[in-house]
């Protein structure tokens, strides 16, 4: 069964999809996992009957965390708040409470649906913690390419200006790279098959009063693929996120997972990206909003 799950993960990694596409919540049996009140849980926010079925008691998951992986099962379900807001008030959702080897996983990030007979014996998965490695060399190598890509996105309309931004027309008429405020908040060097010198980075780009945050993949001084936007849904700045790579086959086709090790001002976040030689893509973006910011 290990081989079949590895094959499914590889299909996720290798499937051709637009760089900015995000899978629906629970698609392909992938769910974010949070620690709430001492419980490890998955909030049932899915509209899919098949995905919802995975969250019933007895359901089995491969759980990927900050320091390892483990097989978990749904011990029971319970009503819970904090997973979503409706009309400015906390929504009462069903939550699947997980049971398994908590200590070996670390901070839980991602649960992958698995058959009940699944075992981890023979796993070739490779974990790598990816601490922030931003330095002057990263700026020197990629600053020009990032500015060039930002200008290209302005011209194509992919860079979205705030409504009423008075500086928009002037920049579009004269896209001067010196007028782009660029800050690289995170960079690391995962191993990716087909790339000689891979770097994954998260930057902030501001033009006039408009801002976006992007995840990019580069090979040396060349960007690979396009910007994958990371909107600030809540309040977690990039510095509050931690990153790990999880390569299910050990062959250089990793998933990049980002998580908040402790709740920031509003709520925890979970991100998932596929990293491949053709570029990055987004498959998971989720956040908790326990205080319902709209009514705060």
Q: What is the DSSP string of 48-89?
A: -HHHHHTTSTT-EEEEEESS-EEEEEEEEEEEE-SS-EETTE
What pTM was computed for the model? 0.91
CA 224-68-284 angle, to 5 degrees, is 45
CA neighbor of 202 nearest in space, from 235, 177, 236, 239: 239
Write 49-54 long-range contacts (CB < 8 A, 24+).
51/25, 51/26, 51/27, 52/26, 54/26, 54/29, 54/113
CA neighbor of 52 nearest in space, from 44, 64, 60: 44
Contact between 269 and 117 (Cβ < 8 Å): no
CA neighbor of 113 nearest in space, from 182, 30, 42: 30
Render the burial of 133-162: b for 16+ CB within 10 Å, e for the rest.
Answer: ebeeebeebbbeebbebbbebbeeeebebe
Tens place of pLDDT per residue across the chain (296 aa): 455 565 556 555 556 565 667 778 888 889 999 998 899 999 999 888 888 888 999 999 999 999 999 999 999 999 988 888 887 788 889 999 999 999 999 999 999 999 988 888 878 889 999 999 999 999 999 999 999 999 999 999 999 999 999 999 999 999 999 999 999 999 999 999 999 999 999 999 999 999 999 999 999 999 999 999 998 866 678 999 999 999 988 899 999 999 999 877 778 999 999 999 999 999 999 988 777 765 54
Helices (H) and strands (E) in the chain, counts: 5, 18
**Element holding 70 (H helix, E strand):** strand 69-80
Contact between 186 and 243 (Cβ < 8 Å): yes
């Amino acid at each position: 069964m290990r081989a079949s799950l590895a094959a499914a993960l590889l299909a996720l990694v290798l499937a051709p999809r637009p760089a900015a596409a995000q899978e629906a919540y629970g698609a392909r049996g992938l769910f974010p996992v949070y620690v709430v009140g001492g419980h490890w849980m998955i909030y049932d926010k899915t509209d899919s009957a098949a995905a919802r079925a995975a969250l019933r008691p007895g359901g089995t998951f491969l759980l990927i965390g900050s320091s390892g992986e483990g097989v978990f099962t749904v011990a029971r379900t319970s009503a819970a708040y904090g997973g979503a807001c409706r009309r400015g008030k906390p929504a009462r959702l069903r939550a699947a409470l997980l049971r398994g080897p908590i200590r070996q996983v670390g901070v839980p990030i991602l649960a992958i649906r698995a058959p009940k007979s699944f075992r981890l014996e023979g796993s070739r998965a490779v974990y790598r913690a990816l601490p922030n490695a931003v330095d002057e060399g990263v700026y020197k190598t990629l600053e020009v390419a990032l500015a060039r890509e930002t200008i290209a996105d302005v011209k194509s309309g992919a860079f979205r200006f705030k409504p009423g931004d008075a500086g928009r027309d002037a920049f579009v008429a004269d896209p001067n790279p010196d007028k782009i405020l660029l800050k690289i908040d995170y960079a690391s060097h995962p191993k990716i098959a087909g790339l000689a010198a891979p770097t994954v980075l998260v930057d902030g780009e501001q033009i006039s009063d408009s801002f976006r945050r992007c995840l990019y993949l580069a090979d040396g001084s060349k960007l690979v693929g396009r910007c994958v936007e990371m909107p600030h849904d809540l309040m977690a700045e990039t510095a509050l996120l931690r990153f790990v790579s999880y390569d299910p086959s050990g062959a250089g086709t990793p998933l990049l997972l980002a998580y908040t090790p402790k709740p920031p001002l509003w709520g925890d976040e979970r991100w998932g990206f596929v990293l491949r030689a053709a570029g990055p893509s987004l498959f998971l973006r989720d956040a908790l909003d326990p205080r319902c910011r709209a009514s705060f």
